[in-house]
């Protein structure tokens, strides 16, 4: 596949464009190297023509090898099933680049992250507050993802500046980081006028563990253990995206059997999370019967996971080039459990939809409009509930093509839309699992003995929450030099802060649960 | 409402739905636990949970221990919303630097006597994150921990059993 179409697309919007070099190592990735002065315009042109939000924007430190930093910006072309990566070099003295967030809002958080982690300034970005390294704990001037960083150095601490709404009768309600429930930590600051929320300021980063730095210097087999622990509810998806990147670099082709098994596990993960969060929504309106019912279904799926893989959360299943367990699936037992789960789920759906007071609470609550969602670059089921057709399972299908995967869309963007979408997705997952299991060949064995190569590649997978992306770079010794992770939560948290506007605080838990975002996946 | 009652009648008691051996095991550990809690904590043990940077799997299992199948609450163990109501603090995660202040403040807010239980490998020594620049590497480096429940994540049954073994000793 050649990329003349993509380049001519950029030239339509930006006539002066020329790429310094073009690389098409993989069929699903195009990499264009551009001069720093052209970077911003080229990004803007791609953003408009594809059209695509900024899927990733990240830096790497190459000062030791070639005296420079490199910044990459990744877009996605659904039409061509390709990822487009623009790169530019940045000199190591006074590193800075022109902010693209003024034109493409979905780049904003990424730019703040680059500034925080590398000390490369996105010139013109008005908001350079730290995300993960809290000012009260970590002094300014520490850039952990630089290669010469050893540990946090002491220095002056400061205080985070919250966005404020001022005026008569405005109250601020701070919540967290320790919440009333058994959930992750995050700080929410509501500004309310009377009952309606007029501003919600999110402050996250409490679970920052320096994950990306930990990947560096590890072998791929060691690192997959960390990938599984980035976000506990998507441990399979994260390990799969990581394995996908590592396999691309080393030119490992996975067997059909592995592809089916991975798809089965991915759908099982989707199922237990979807049902768990529907139960969570019910609990947040004190509909405890439905919530208990959902937790029984979730437990059944977790026990099924354990039966198949000896891990309730599908940890330790993925390896580079294959899966370590699940090849001995006994179809009868598996289908039997699956049927029970499906029947229970249909009952659960009836319980929810026959409760008038429940439906009344979720209908028209927490609306995220399509335009807002597009500007923020909202992905995954939250995006689809607002009418944005993005699903990697459709556009990068693999084995999903054989199973005739059907993408589910909703238009209204409220809690009900997200709920309905997830109900349909649950049913679709059950169907897909049946299809894939029928195709499994009991005799085929996946034997992998990988030879690790040097290079870089993008691994991606549509997890239950949205696309999980891993950009991986390995050195000649096979050790990881840089690993950039983007969990869908990173962009979707922004969606929540817009969806709650105009709603009352008692509806916040509903909105929050309907997006169901990961703290640890966001904070890294 | 009729639907709910009908459903309840059809479904029966779900603890029966899991395999017999496992169900038995829970009942035995559970009833022992319950009588111990009656003796030592005057009928109920209240726990406040704090996440200091876990991936969320440990939380998920703690929640699962409260689902109708394991139903930790029937043995007298409650998870409470405020540290002011708690006898014990249950901590997950490798203690991110950002959570240090919040963790200490939560502990300070608890009335005496109080103790800390750490859940999961991260909370016991940092787990896979122990070499990171931004974690303390386990709760015991920061506050006194009286019981560490291992596992990544520990299953609901492990959590219940560990609590029993601990309460027996004390």
Read off the pLDDT of residues A329-383 as tens digits, 9 standing for 90 and up: 778 888 888 898 998 899 889 888 888 888 888 888 889 999 999 888 898 899 9
Q: How close, in Å, is residue A185 to chain B by CA atoms?
A: 6
Q: Which residues does chain A have within 8 Å of residue B8's beta carbon, measured at their own beta carbons? A: 289
How far is A274 from A294, CA to CA, in rounded Å? 10
Is residue B138 less than 8 Å (CB to CB) from chain A? Answer: no
Q: What is the rounded (10 degree) CA torsion for A392, A395, A397, A402?
A: 130
Contact A299 B69 (CB under 8 A): yes
Tell me which residue in A214, A289, A313 faces B132 most closely, judged by beta carbons: A214
The CA-based diameter of chain A, rounded to the nearest angstrom, is: 73
Confidence of residue A448 (pLDDT cuts 50, 70, 90): low
In this prediction, residue B27 carries a pLDDT of 64
How far is A357 from A254, CA to CA, in rounded Å? 49
Within 117-156 of A, beta carbons closer than 8 Å to B belong to 132-134, 136-138, 144, 149-152
What is the token pair recorded at A470? 């891993």
Within 225-284 of A, beta carbons closer than 8 Å to B belong to 225-226, 229-233, 235, 276
**Matching residue, tokens 């003796």:** B39
Q: Which residues does chain B have within 8 Å of residue A132's beta carbon, measured at their own beta carbons? A: 98
In this prediction, residue A444 carries a pLDDT of 58
Checking A343-348 for CB contacts under 8 A at 24+ apart, the result is: A344/A293, A344/A296, A344/A297, A344/A300, A345/A275, A345/A297, A345/A426, A345/A427, A345/A430, A347/A293, A347/B7, A348/A275, A348/A278, A348/A290, A348/A293, A348/A294, A348/A297
Q: Report whether pLDDT(A79) > 60.
A: yes
On average, the pLDDT of chain B sits at: 82
pLDDT tens-digit series, residues B144-164: 998 999 988 899 888 887 887
Query: Residue B92 phi/psi, 5° resolution?
Result: -120, 160
The CA-based diameter of chain B, rounded to the nearest angstrom, is: 57
How far is B164 from B170, CA to CA, in rounded Å? 10
Tell me which residue in B8, B61, B99 faces A185 most closely, judged by beta carbons: B99
Q: Report whether pLDDT(B89) > 90.
A: yes
Q: Which residues does chain B have within 8 Å of residue A237's beta carbon, measured at their own beta carbons? A: none
Within 2-61 of B, beta carbons closer than 8 Å to A belong to 3-4, 7-8, 14, 17-18, 49-61
pLDDT tens-digit series, residues A260-319: 889 999 999 999 999 998 999 998 888 888 898 899 999 989 988 888 888 899 888 888
- Closest residue of chain A to B14, computed from CA coordinates: A296
Q: Compare A167 and B39 and report the one with higher pLDDT.
A: A167
Q: Which residues does chain B have within 8 Å of residue A315's beta carbon, measured at their own beta carbons? A: 57, 152
In this prediction, residue B104 carries a pLDDT of 92
Contact B99 A177 (CB under 8 A): yes
Q: Which whole number is the average pLDDT over A143-164?
A: 86
Contact A313 B153 (CB under 8 A): yes
Q: How many CA atoms lie within 13 A of B53 on its CB side?
A: 37
Of the candidates A283, A273, A303, A513, the one whose C-alpha atom is nearest the C-alpha of residue A416 is A513
Is residue B74 less than 8 Å (CB to CB) from chain A? Answer: no
Q: How many CA atoms lie within 13 A of B89 on its CB side?
A: 31
In this prediction, residue B162 carries a pLDDT of 82
- A233 within 8 A of B125, measured Cβ to Cβ: no
- Closest residue of chain A to B69, computed from CA coordinates: A296
In this prediction, residue A13 carries a pLDDT of 79
How far is B106 from A221, CA to CA, in rounded Å? 38
Q: How close, in Å, is residue A40 to chain B by CA atoms?
A: 33
Q: Report whether pLDDT(A455) > 90.
A: no
In this prediction, residue A447 carries a pLDDT of 57
Is residue B87 less than 8 Å (CB to CB) from chain A? Answer: no
How far is B82 from A118, CA to CA, in rounded Å? 39
CA dist A286 → A289, A357, A503, A516 (Å): 9, 11, 18, 18
Q: Report whether pLDDT(B23) > 60.
A: no
Q: Which whole number is the average pLDDT over B9-36?
A: 62
- A461 within 8 A of A266, measured Cβ to Cβ: yes
ipTM of the complex: 0.89
Q: Compare A333 and B19 and report the one with higher pLDDT.
A: A333
Within 99-128 of B, beta carbons closer than 8 Å to A belong to 99-102, 106, 122, 127-128
- B136 within 8 A of A176, measured Cβ to Cβ: no
Tell me which residue in B18, B96, B155 faces A208 most closely, judged by beta carbons: B96
Contact B51 A184 (CB under 8 A): yes
């Amino acid at each position: 596949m050649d990329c003349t179409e993509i380049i001519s697309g950029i030239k339509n919007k930006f006539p002066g464009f020329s790429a310094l070099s073009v690389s098409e190592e993989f069929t699903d990735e195009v990499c264009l190297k551009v001069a720093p002065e052209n970077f911003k315009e080229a990004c803007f042109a791609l953003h408009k023509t594809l059209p695509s939000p900024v899927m990733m924007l990240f830096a790497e430190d190459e000062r030791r090898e070639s005296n420079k930093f490199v910044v990459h910006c990744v877009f996605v072309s659904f039409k061509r099933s390709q990822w487009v990566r623009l790169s530019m070099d940045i000199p190591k003295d006074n590193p800075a680049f022109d902010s693209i967030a003024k034109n493409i809002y979905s780049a904003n958080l990424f730019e703040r992250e680059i500034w925080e982690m590398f000390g490369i300034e996105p010139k013109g970005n008005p908001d350079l507050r730290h995300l993960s390294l809290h000012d009260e704990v970590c002094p300014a001037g520490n850039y952990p993802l630089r290669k010469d960083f050893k540990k946090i150095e002491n220095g002056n601490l400061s205080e985070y500046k919250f966005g404020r709404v001022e005026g008569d009768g405005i109250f601020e309600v701070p919540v967290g980081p320790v919440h009333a429930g058994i959930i992750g930590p995050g700080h929410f600051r509501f500004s309310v006028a009377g009952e309606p929320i007029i501003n919600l300021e999110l402050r996250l980063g409490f679970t920052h563990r320096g994950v990306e730095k930990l990947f560096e210097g590890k072998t791929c087999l060691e690192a997959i253990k960390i990938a599984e622990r980035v976000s506990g509810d998507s441990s399979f998806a994260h390990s799969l995206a990581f394995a996908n990147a590592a396999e691309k670099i080393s030119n490992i082709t996975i067997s059909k059997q592995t592809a089916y098994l991975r798809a089965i596990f991915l759908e099982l993960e989707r199922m237990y999370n979807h049902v768990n969060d529907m139960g969570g929504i019910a609990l947040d309106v004190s509909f405890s019967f439905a919530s208990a019912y959902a937790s029984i279904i979730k437990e059944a799926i977790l026990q099924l996971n354990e039966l198949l893989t000896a891990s309730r959360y599908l940890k330790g299943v993925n390896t580079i080039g294959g899966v370590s367990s699940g090849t001995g699936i006994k179809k009868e037992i598996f289908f039997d459990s699956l049927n029970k789960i499906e029947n229970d789920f249909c009952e659960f759906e009836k319980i929810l939809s026959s409760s008038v007071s429940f439906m009344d609470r979720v209908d028209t609550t927490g609306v995220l409009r399509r335009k807002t969602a597009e500007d923020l670059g909202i992905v995954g089921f939250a995006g689809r509930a607002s009418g944005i057709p993005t699903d990697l399972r459709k556009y990068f299908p693999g084995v999903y093509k054989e199973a005739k995967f059907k993408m589910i869309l909703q238009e209204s963007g409220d809690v009900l839309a997200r709920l309905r979408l997830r109900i349909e997705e649950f049913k679709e997952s059950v169907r897909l699992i049946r299809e894939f299991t029928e195709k499994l060949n009991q005799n085929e064995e996946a034997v992998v003995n990988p030879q690790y190569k040097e290079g870089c590649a993008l691994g991606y997978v549509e997890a239950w929450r949205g696309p999980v992306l891993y950009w991986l770079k390995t050195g000649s010794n096979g050790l990881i030099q840089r690993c950039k992770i983007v969990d869908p939560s990173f962009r979707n948290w922004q969606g929540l802060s817009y969806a709650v506007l105009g709603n009352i605080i008692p509806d916040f838990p509903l909105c929050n649960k309907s997006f169901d975002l990961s703290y640890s996946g966001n904070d890294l | 409402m009729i639907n709910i009652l009908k459903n309840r009648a059809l479904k029966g008691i779900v603890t029966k739905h899991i395999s017999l051996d496992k169900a038995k095991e829970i009942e035995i550990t559970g009833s022992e636990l319950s009588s111990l809690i009656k003796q030592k904590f005057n009928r109920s043990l209240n726990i406040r949970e704090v996440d200091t940077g876990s991936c969320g799997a440990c939380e998920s299992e703690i929640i699962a221990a409260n689902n109708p199948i394991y139903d930790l609450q029937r043995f007298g163990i409650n998870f409470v919303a405020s540290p002011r109501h708690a006898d014990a603090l249950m901590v997950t995660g490798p203690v991110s630097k950002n959570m240090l202040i919040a963790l200490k403040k939560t502990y300070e807010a608890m009335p005496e006597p109080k103790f800390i239980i750490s859940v999961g490998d991260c909370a016991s020594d940092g787990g896979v994150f122990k070499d990171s620049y931004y974690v303390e590497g386990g709760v015991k480096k920061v506050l006194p921990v009286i019981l560490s429940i291992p596992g990544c994540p520990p299953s609901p049954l492990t959590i219940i059993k560990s609590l029993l073994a601990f309460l027996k000793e004390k």
